[in-house]
Amino acid sequence: MTSPVWHPFTQHALSGPPQLVRSGQGAWLETEKGRLLDAISSWWVITHGHRHPKIVEAIKTQADALDQVIFAGFTHPPAEDLARGLIEIAPKGLRHVFYSDSGSTSVEVALKMALGFWRNKNINRTRIIALEHAYHGDTVGTMSAGARGVFNAAYNPLLFDVVRLPFPHDRSCATLAMLDEAAKGAAALIVEPLILGAGGMLTYPAEILAKMKTLCERHGTLFIADEVMTGFGRTGTLFACEQAGITPDILCLAKGLSGGSLPLAATLCTAEIFDAHYSTDRSRTFFHSSSFTANPIACAAGVANLKIWREEQVGARIAALGRLQEERLGFFRTDARFENVRRMGTITAMELKVPDPGYLAGLGPELTAFFHDRGILLRPLGNTIYVMPPYCVTGAELDRIYAAIAQAAGKFA
C-alpha cells in the first residue's frame, strides 16, 4: 500500500519513497538501507548528537512524572528551570520567556509581541523591516517576513508587506542607509544574525549586525533576532548576537533548544515588552497560546541541554569543530568548480558551479540523492552545498562528507 503520509518540502511526483529510519546515535542514523552520516543535524536541530544520554534520561524521567498540562494558570518545574537557565545564558537584558513549539511559532510570537508592544503604548507603529533572502518559517506571518519566491508564491494573497533591506553583501552601506530611513516609525526589524540559513547560507559580518542594532536604537525600533538556526553554538558562540555584542529586544530560539530532541521553542524579551502587556486591562493581554505551550517533557529536554552546555565544555567542542571544518575547506578554496567557499563557526557552505543552479532546475534533489547513495545526509539548497553537523562529529567523519562533496563536483560541475 502506498503511504498516506505527505512529507514537508517534498514533491512526491518526483522523489522516490522516503527512507525508513530506525534509529539514531551520535552523528549517525540507521536506515533500512544502511547507515547515514547526518551532516545537516536532521534539519539543523541536533546539536550534541542523536540521543545524548543526558537528554534521553531527562525525557524518560519527566515522562514518568508529568506528560502535559495546560500552561495558562499552571506551571511546572521544567518550564521554570529552563526559563531561568535561558535568562542566565542569553544576551544580558532579556527578562521574560514565552514558550511555543517550533521556530516558526517563536517568530510569530516575536512579531505579535512587537505589534502588541506598540499598540499597548498607543503608538501607531506597525511596519516590519526584514532582510532580502530572509527565511523565518512557513506560517503566514513568518512567510511575510521571509523572502518571496517559488516557496510562497501561491500564498501571496495571505501575506503582509514588509520593508525589504538589501542583503549586506559587501559590508554594505546600502543596507544601513536604507534601514536608517525605514526604521523611522517602524515597529521592528527582524534579522537572522550573521548567517541567513534557508536563503543560501549567506554570511555577513558582526559589525553590520551591531550597526543595524544601533540604528534601531536610534529610531526606537524593536530589534528581533531570529536565532532559531544560529542559536546554541552554530556560529561558534552560544548565540550569534554575542559576536556583535548586542542584546536584541526579542530573541527567537527553537531547534537546538532541546538539543534537537523534541519540538520546543522560546521567545525571550525585555522587561519593557512584557511591561507593555502587564495591565489590569484584559485587552492588553498577550493573546497567544498553543495546546502544547511549554510541554513538560520538551522543557525537561531543554533543561538537560543547558546542563550539557554547562558541564561538557561545549564551547571548546564547537571551537574545535570550527577548526576541523576550516582545515577541510582548503581543498575547495583552490578548486575552480566551487565558489564562495565559506565558514561561519561550525557551518560551512560553498556553491557548486553549474550551468543552471535554480531551485526548480532539480539539482538540489539530484545532489541529495547522490549523497544519500554514499551514506551521507546532505540536502543542498540548489547548488549551495552546506555542512552543518552535530558537534560530536569526528574529523574522520568530516573527511567522508567532504570526499563525497568532491565526488559530486566530478559528476555535476
Which residues would be at the binding site for ligand PLP (CB under 6 A)? 44, 102-104, 107, 135-137, 192, 197-198, 226, 228-229, 254
Q: Quote the least distance from Cβ 413 to ligand PLP, whole Å.
A: 27
Angstrom distance (rounded) from CA 260 to CA 258: 5
* Nearer Cβ to ligand PLP (137/380): 137
Cβ-based nearer residue to ligand PLP, 125 or 234: 234
By C-alpha distance, which of 207, 250, 204, 260 is closest to 229?
Answer: 260
Positive/negative CA dihedral, 206, 212, 213, 218: positive
CB nearer to ligand PLP: pick between 195 and 409: 195
The minimum distance between CB 134 and ligand PLP, in angstroms, equals: 8
The Cα–Cα gap between 226 and 135 comes to 9
Q: In this structure, are residues 376 and 195 in contact, taking their beta carbons and an 8 Å threshold?
A: no
* Shortest distance (Å) from residue 45 CB to ligand PLP: 8
Q: Residue 148 or residue 374: which is nearer to ligand PLP going by CB? A: 148
CB of 197 to ligand PLP, least distance (A): 4
How many of the other CB atoms lie within 10 Å of CB of 356? 10
Residue 230 C-beta: closest distance to ligand PLP, Å: 7
| Least distance (Å) between residue 68 CB and ligand PLP | 20
- Chain centroid, CA 170 distance in Å: 23
SS3 label, residue 202: strand
- Cα–Cα dist 381/349, whole Å: 10
Largest Cα span, the chain: 67
β pairing state of 96-100 and 128-131? unpaired
Q: Where do we find the cell 519527566?
A: 62
DSSP SS3 for 96: strand
State which residue, 276 or 301, has the beta carbon closest to ligand PLP.
Answer: 301
Of 142 and 383, nearer to ligand PLP (C-beta) is 142
User: Which amino acid does the sequence have at 144?
Assistant: S
Q: By C-alpha distance, which of 370, 391, 367 is closest to 316?
A: 391
Cβ neighbours of residue 321 closer than 8 Å, sequence gap 6 or more: 346, 389, 391, 393
Closest approach, Cβ 227 to ligand PLP, in A, equals: 8
Residue 1's contacts (CB-CB under 8 Å, 6 or more residues apart) are none
Q: Which is nearer to ligand PLP, 47 or 102 (CB)?
A: 102
Minimum distance from residue 333 beta carbon to ligand PLP (Å): 26
Give the residue nearest to ligand PLP (CB): 103
Least spacing, CB of residue 55 vs ligand PLP, in Å: 18
Nearest to 99 by CA among 252, 287, 297: 252
Closest to ligand PLP by CB, 130 vs 215, is 130
Residue 261, classified by CB atoms within 10 Å of its CB into exposed (0-12), middle (13-18) or buried (19+), is: buried
Instruction: Name which of 136 and 328 has its Cβ closer to ligand PLP.
Output: 136
The DSSP output letter for 26 is B
